[in-house]
A and B are shown apart, each in its own frame.
Chain A
Amino acid sequence: MSEVRTSKVDELRVVHQPLPRHDQAEKIAGTTRYAGDLAFAGMLHARLVRAQIPSARLTRRDATQARAAPGVVAVLFGEDVPNNEIRVDVPGQTVAVGALKASMQVLATDRVRFHGEPVALVIAETEDALAVACDLVEIEYEDLPVVSDPIAALTDGAPEVHPGGNLLAEWRIDRGDVDAAFAQAAVTVEETYRTQFVDHAYLEPEAGVGWLDDDGVLTLRVATQVVEHYRDVAKILGVPDSKVRVIAPYVGGGFGGKEDMTVEPYIAVAVHHTRKPVRMLWTRNESLLARAKRHRNVMRYRTAAAADGTLLAHDIEIVSDAGAYAYLSALVLLYSTVHACGPYRVPNVRIWSRTAYTNNPPTSAFRGFGGMQMVLGYESQIDEVAHRLGIDQGEIRKRNALVKGDRLPVGQEIITEVWLPQTIDAVLERAGEKPRPSGPRKAVGRAIASNMQSYGRLVWLNDSAAAWIGFQMDGSLTVRCGVPDIGGGQASSLGQIASEILAVDMDRISVHFGDSALNPLAGTTTATRQLLMSGNATYEAAVLLRDQILSGVAEETAQPVESLRMQPGQVAGPETTVPLTQALQVCRRRNVPVEALGTFFGPKGKEVTRDLEGDRIFPDFTFGTHLADVEVDLDTGEVQILRYLAAHDVGRAINPLSVEGQICGAAVQGLGQALLEDLVVQEGVNLTPGLFQYLIPTATDVPDVEAIILESGEGLGPFGARGIGEPPIGPPIAVIPAAIADAVGALPTTLPVTPERVLRAAGGR
C-alpha cells in the first residue's frame, strides 16, 4: 500500500477509506457486460470499409457486387447519411480557436485524407457475410500529394490538406522583456525536443450496439466517455435531440480515446436505415489505424537563467501535428501553450505555438491533453541549467517553484497552495542511496522530474454537472448521475461521497450512471474533471437532501435543526433519536421531499483571446514529482527501470485505493511513451497497426510504482480534493531521459527513448 501523508486530520467515516469499489466484484467475476458483450436476437452486424492510402480523391465507389452477396442487408455511402457531417464542437468554442473547422464527414464522398478514413458502411446478417462483403466493395482512388510533416505543412506552397491552408490554430504570448532577459543571463540553454504519436491502446477496442426502443428512441449502448454525444448523433440523423439516447456501460479503458465519437455515428446510421438492432465491433487494427492519437509535438526551447539558477526567461516554439482532421487539436494546443513553462515562476516568456494539418492519423484527446508533452521540454531545460551551474536537481526546482498567488505567463493566478517542494522532498527521502551498476558494462542513473497538470475544464466553457440522490423508504439510497465510468472509480466515488454525508453504508447505495436519458447530465469523463464536477454535484445533492431530512425531523421532534446529525440508520438529536425509516416517513407526511438534485457550476472565466490574455483559464492544477533509477546496458542500449517513485498532492484522497491506482496506472502509461510506444507513420502510412508492433508496457517492462499521496486539503473538489487522473502521466517522459542522461552522459531528446537512441546518447562508451 502506498504512503499517505495528510495535512488535516478529519473524522471522515467513508471518504478517505481504501474501500474496494462496488463495480470490482462483477468485473472480477467476469459477469460485467461491456459494450461488445451484449447481443440481441435478430441483430445485424456493421463494419466500415476504410481508405488504404493516406491522400486521394475518390473516383469510384461501387457496391453492386457487395450488395448482391448473401446475407448483406445494405451498403451505405456518404450520400446515404441524412447529414453527412460530424462536428466536433466543444461548447463555447469560438471561431478564434478554429471550432468551425472541426468537422469531417461520417463517410467520405470526394476525398480521403488519412490511412483508415471510413468510406463505406456495410450491414449484414452475420459477421461471416460481413467479412466477405467488405472485400467486394469497390473503391478507386486518384493519388493526391501527401503531407506528412507538420513543419513542412506550414511552409508556403505545401499541399493543402483542407482548403484554406494547413494552419489550424495558433497562439502567441509575449510577456515581460524576453530579449533583455537573455542579454543579462548567466546561462542560456537551447534545445529541441520531439514527442511521438501515441495510441491509447485500451484493452477494449471500440464497440457498441444500437436499437430503436418502443418509443422510437434510437438507443446506443457504446464504449464512450461522453453520453452527451446523443446530440451529435441526432444532428447526423436529422432527428430531435430527445429522440436519441446514449448509454455508457462500464468502459474497458478510455484515456481520452473514447471522448470523441467512434462507433456512434455508424451504428446510429445503420439502425436508422434498417430499423433493426445493429452491433459494431472495431478490430484492433482499425483502432490503431483510425482512432485519433496523441499529438506529436516539436518543441524548441531557449531558456535564460541567472547565476543562482533563477529562471529569467523562456522562448518557446511549439508545432503540433493535428493529423487529417481537427478534432480537439486547437484545445490541445491551448493546453500545451498554458503548460509550456511548467510549475515555475518565469517572468519573461515568449511562446509561439501552432498546430498543422497533415495526412497523418487525426490527433485528439489523450490523458494529459497537450500539457503532458511539455514536461519533456521544461524539465529537460531546467536540468541543463542546473547542470551548467552545478546546482542540485531538487534545489533548482524548489528555488523556482510557483507559490500560491503567483501568476502563470498567461496571467492565471494560482489560487491554492502549491506543494511542489513537498513532493520533491518526498521522493528524495524515500529513494535513499542510488544503486550501483550490476556489471562492468552497465551504468546506473537517477533523476527527478516535476510537473503541473490542470484539472477541471477550461473555465470559459461554462462547465456544469448534476446529480440526483433519493432515499428509498427502507433507508437505502439511489444516486443517479450521467457520469461515464471508465475504470477510474468515477461512479463509486459518488457513492462514497453520498455515503459520507448521508451516513448510509456503501452496500445500501446504488449508483446509476452513464445514461443520457435517465440520469442528470454530468458532462464528459475527461479533463480530470469528474471528481470536481460530478463529485461536487453529488456533494451538493447530498447536503440538500440531508438538510431536507433534518428539517423534517426538527419540526416533528421540536429540536433545533443545527443539533441534529445523520448517523448510520438514524437521525440523532440531543433529546430524541429517530430511526431513519421513521424519519423518512415523517418527511413524506410533512411533504418534505426525500430526494434532491444538485448542480455544480464550474469556475467561470472569460473566453481566451489569441494571445491568451486572461485572468483564469483552468480551475486549478495538480503538482507532483517522480523519481527514477535506471540501469543501462551499454552494449545493447536496453534500459531497466530499477525503481520508480511518484509523489502527488491530491488535495484529499476520496478513496486512497483509487488514487493509488490512478497514479500507478498513469505513470506506467507515461513510461510506455518514454521507452516503448511509437505509432509509426511514414508518408501517411501507418506502419504499426497491430499490438505486436505497437508496444505497450508489459508486467516485465516496469517495476512497482511507489505512489506517495500527499494531502494538502487545498483542492477545489469535494473535501478539498484535486484531480489525479491525468497529472501522473507527464513526469515519466522527462524523468526517464534524464535518468538515462545521468547514466550515460548525454540526454536523449526524442521519444520514445529506444535502445538505439540510448546508444547514440552513450556515444561509444
Chain B
Amino acid sequence: MFVKPFRYERAESLAHACDLLRSADGYAKAIAGGQSLLPLMNLGLLEVDEVVDLSAIAEARGVTMGDDGFAAIGALTRHRELERDEALAAAQPLITAAVAWIGSSRIRNRGTLGGSLAHSDPSAELPLVMTALGAEYTLTNGTDERTVRADEFHVSYFTSALEEDELVASVRVPVLGPGWGWGFAEVARRKGDFMLAAAAVIARVADGRVVEARLALGGVHERPMRFGAVESAVAGATSDELDGRIGPIEGSAPVSDTSASAEHRAHLARVLAVRALTDAMTRGEAA
C-alpha cells in the first residue's frame, strides 16, 4: 500500500508516450488501466522510477468493423467497452464471452485490452482468446509500426515481445464466419479469481462434424498456447466423440501453486477443452 514516490508523466498520444518511455531516467513503466501494475506496486513487488500514464490518450479506442472479415480494436479500449460493444458481440462473441470472466466490474471499468496483452499473464483471458483467434497486434514505437501475431507476442510469464519503447496500438481479430461456432470455458476457485485453467475455441462445423478447430488453453504453460495435436485429433468428430478423441494434453506444463496442483490444472484443461469444443460445435451448427 505504501508505494515509494515516482515521477509521473501524462502522455497525450501513443507517440508521445513512446518518446517519454525512451527518454525516461531510470525504470519507466506505461500504465493504462493500472489494474495489473498498481496491485504489484502496492504489494512492493514492482518499483519504478517513472510512470507514463496512457489513460488520457484519446486515440486507439473502440472497435472498428472492417469489410475484409476482420475487426480492429484500439489498445486503449477498456474491458467494459468490449463487454458492451454490440457489434463486437455479433462479430466475435468469443471475445465478449471471455471479457466477462476478467476480475470484477471495477477492474473491467479501468483495465484495457492493450494493458492486459502487454502484461502477458498466461492466466489472463484476453491473451488466451487472441491466441485462439490468431489475432495480430500492431505495435508502435511512435515512428514505426510492426505487426506480431499473438502466439509470437506472448513469450513467457509476464514477458512479451515489446521493446522498451513500444506499445500495443491495436489488435486485428477475425470475424466469426458462417458455420463457425465459439466456446469458452474457465474454472477459477471463486468468480473473478485468476483461472486455474481455461479453454478458448472456435470451430467450423458441417453435418454435425468438426471441419476445423482452433483450440488454445490458458493456465497450463508459461504462455497461452494452441494445441495442434488436439485440433487434429478432433477433426471429423461429432460432439459425442469429442471426449474419446482427446487424451491427456501433450505439451502443457502447468505449475502447482496454493490454488491448485499441476495435475489438477492438467486434468481441468482436458475437461474444459471438451466443454469448449462441445459448445463451439453446438453454436457452429446453429450458425
Contacts and interface: CB of A to CB of B under 8 A. Distances in A.
Interface string A280-292: 0101110000000
B187 A638 contact: yes
Contacts of A636: 187, 268, 271
Given A128-B4, A128-B5, A636-B271, A693 B259 contact: yes
Interface residues of A, number: 31
B2 A127 contact: yes
Determine chain A's interface SS by DSSP, over half rule.
Answer: loop
A698 interface: yes
Q: Give the interface centre of B39, B261, B264 by most chain A CB atoms within 10 Å.
A: B264
A759 B261 CA distance: 13
Q: Give the interface centre of A127, A130, A693 by most chain B CB atoms within 10 Å.
A: A693
B191 interface: yes
Contacts of A637: 264
Interface in A656-699: 676, 678, 680, 687-688, 690, 692-693, 695, 697-698
Contacts, number: 58
A399 B201 CA distance: 56
Given A127-B2, A130-B2, A678-B258, A695 B271 contact: no
A705 B129 CA distance: 38
Contacts of B2: 47, 127-128, 130-131, 283
Given A756-B261, A756-B264, A695 B189 contact: yes
Contact of B189 (A128, A283, A676, A680): A676
Nearest to B45: A690
B1 interface: yes
Given A636-B271, A693-B259, A283 B1 contact: yes
Nearest to B185: A636
B74 to A, nearest CB: 29
Contacts of A127: 2
Contact of B43 (A688, A690, A697): A690
Contact of A676 (B190, B192, B257): B190
Contacts of A688: 258
Nearest to B275: A635
A271 to B, nearest CB: 21
Q: Give the interface centre of B2, B3, B193 by most chain A CB atoms within 10 Å.
A: B2
Nearest to B264: A756
A756 B260 contact: yes
A132 B189 CA distance: 36
B194 interface: yes
Contacts of B271: 635-636
Interface string B194-219: 10000000000000000000000000
A755 B264 contact: yes
A701 B268 contact: no
Contact of A698 (B44, B187, B191, B260): B191
Contacts of A284: 1
Given A636-B271, A687-B258, A755-B264, A131 B3 contact: yes
A434 B62 CA distance: 49
A636 B192 CA distance: 17
A676 B192 CA distance: 14
A286 to B, nearest CB: 10
Contacts of A676: 189-190
Contacts of B191: 698, 700-701
Interface in A255-276: none
Contacts of A635: 271
Given A285-B43, A692-B194, A756-B264, A132 B258 contact: no
B13 to A, nearest CB: 31
A742 B261 CA distance: 25
A449 B110 CA distance: 45
Contacts of A700: 190-191
Contacts of B263: 756
A692 B193 contact: yes
Interface in B130-160: none
A636 B198 CA distance: 12
Nearest to B261: A756
Nearest to A205: B1
A695 B261 contact: no
Contacts of B187: 636, 638, 755
A131 B4 contact: yes
A690 B190 CA distance: 15
A692 B259 CA distance: 10
A395 to B, nearest CB: 37
Contacts of A281: 1
B236 to A, nearest CB: 24
A47 B4 CA distance: 14
A554 B187 CA distance: 74
A127 B259 CA distance: 33
Contact of A695 (B39, B44, B190, B257): B190
Contacts of B5: 128
A635 B270 CA distance: 10
A477 B268 CA distance: 63
Nearest to A636: B187
Interface string B105-117: 0000000000000
Nearest to A127: B2
Contacts of A759: 264, 267
B43 A680 contact: no
A141 B104 CA distance: 41
Contacts of B257: 687
Nearest to B192: A698
A213 to B, nearest CB: 29
Contacts of A692: 39, 193-194
Interface in B248-264: 257-261, 263-264
Nearest to B4: A131
Nearest to B42: A283
B190 A701 contact: yes
Nearest to B187: A636
A207 to B, nearest CB: 12
Given A285-B44, A678-B258, A755-B187, 4 more contacts: A131-B4, A637-B264, A688-B258, A759-B264
**Top 7 A-B pairs, shortest CB-CB distance:** A131-B2, A680-B258, A635-B271, A756-B264, A700-B191, A131-B4, A283-B1
Interface of B: 1-5, 39, 43-44, 187, 189-194, 257-261, 263-264, 267-268, 271
30 contacts: A47-B2, A127-B2, A128-B4, A128-B5, A131-B2, A131-B4, A132-B4, A283-B2, A284-B1, A636-B268, A636-B271, A637-B264, A676-B190, A680-B258, A687-B257, A687-B258, A688-B258, A692-B39, A695-B189, A697-B190, A698-B191, A701-B190, A701-B191, A754-B260, A755-B189, A755-B260, A755-B264, A756-B263, A756-B264, A759-B267
Interface of A: 47, 127-128, 130-132, 281, 283-285, 635-638, 676, 678, 680, 687-688, 690, 692-693, 695, 697-698, 700-701, 754-756, 759
